[in-house]
Amino acid sequence: MQYWKLLALAVVAYALANSNVQANTEELPAPIQTLAEQGLTIVDQFPAPGGLTGYAAEFQGQAIALYLTADGEHVVVGNMLDSDGRDVAADSLYDLVTGPAMERAWAQMENATLLQDGDKDAPRVIYTMTDPNCPYCHRFREAAEPWIAAGQVQLRHLMVGIIREESRAQAAAIMGSPNPAQALQEHISRRERGGIETVARFVRIGEPIIRENHRVMQRLNLTSTPIIYFRDGNNHVQMVRGMPQPQQLEAIFGPRPR
């Protein structure tokens, strides 16, 4: 079953299982109010076809469309497709829910203490959450190398330590070293032998940075690495969880260097 169907069923099941919550003073149609009382954040209305009224909502970090019937008595939760198979709520959900959330995430990454990897004047900036012991983080860095070497891309790593017991100290040692980008590359080259040495003074310097980086992850409700943020051709912030597929690389990094 497709993810949106599972999400829609979960939302409705949750609402039906929690029917004893008192109504608040929000002036919403009853079916929409019921879902709002059960944990959905109703963001705004949007135009919908067929006499329906669309509502953009957020549920556990996911944008979701609600469609109120013309009689105001029923609500449909999930995707509505037009004759071309396009989701009619896609643009509205991005504008009202997903886009603002992605911009807030971008700002949090931008304001964090990051490891600069590549030419600081490179035209394309990509943020990535990196654990020293995350093999997919290393694969992503290797995939980025042609673009970095060509001066087209700069990676900005938010270093965290969540995968292994030693990850936190290694991340702190990397960020606390005199040259964090060099330290990260040294760690990657030595990872089969245990990685970078966790020099105590470097760990002490880097630990406050890693502690704050973990807070950033928590604020963004993220629990894994890599998490990649980039801007697409429309200047919209997009997020990729995990190692991107090969066909995604040019969308993330731009045209492949010649």
> Has residue 181 been placed in a domain?
yes
Nearest to 132 by CA among 180, 178, 164: 164
Ramachandran area for residue 251 (φ above 0: left; ψ -120 to 50: alpha; else beta): alpha
Q: Both tokens of residue 210?
A: 């890693």
Residue 194 pLDDT: 87
SS3 category, 240: strand
Triad 26, 30, 34: Cα angle to 5°: 80
Tell me, yes or no, whether 87 and 129 share the same domain: no
Chunk the chain into consecutive blocks of 10 residues (it has 258) and report each block's average pLDDT, rounded to whole numbers: 44 42 60 94 95 94 94 94 95 95 96 96 97 96 97 98 96 97 93 90 98 97 96 94 96 94
Residue 122 sits in the same domain as residue 57: no
Of 91, 124, 157, which residue constitutes the final position of a domain?
91
Residue 43 sits in the same domain as residue 85: yes
Tokens of 34: 């019921």
208 and 121, same domain (yes or no): yes
| Domain coverage including residue 58 | 3-91
Tally of structural domains, the chain: 2
Fill in the DSSP letter of residue 256. P
Domain containing residue 139: CATH number? 3.40.30.10
Does residue 165 sit within a domain?
Answer: yes
Residue 11 belongs to a domain with what CATH number? 3.10.450.70
pLDDT for residue 22: 35
Domain for residue 200, yes or no? Answer: yes
User: What pLDDT sits at residue 10?
Assistant: 45
- 0.85 cut: is pTM over it? no
Pair (142, 249) in one structural domain: yes
Two structure tokens written together for 220: 């963004």
Q: Contact at 8 Å (CB) between 96 and 47?
A: no
104 inside domain: no
pLDDT at 185: 93
**Per-residue model confidence (pLDDT) at position 247:** 95
Q: Which amino acid is at 154?
A: Q
Q: Are residues 84 and 122 in the same domain?
A: no
Predicted local distance difference test score (pLDDT) of residue 26: 55
**Residue 192: its pLDDT value, please?**
84
In this prediction, residue 143 carries a pLDDT of 97
E-only strand ranges, 53-136: 53-59, 62-68, 75-77, 115-117, 124-130
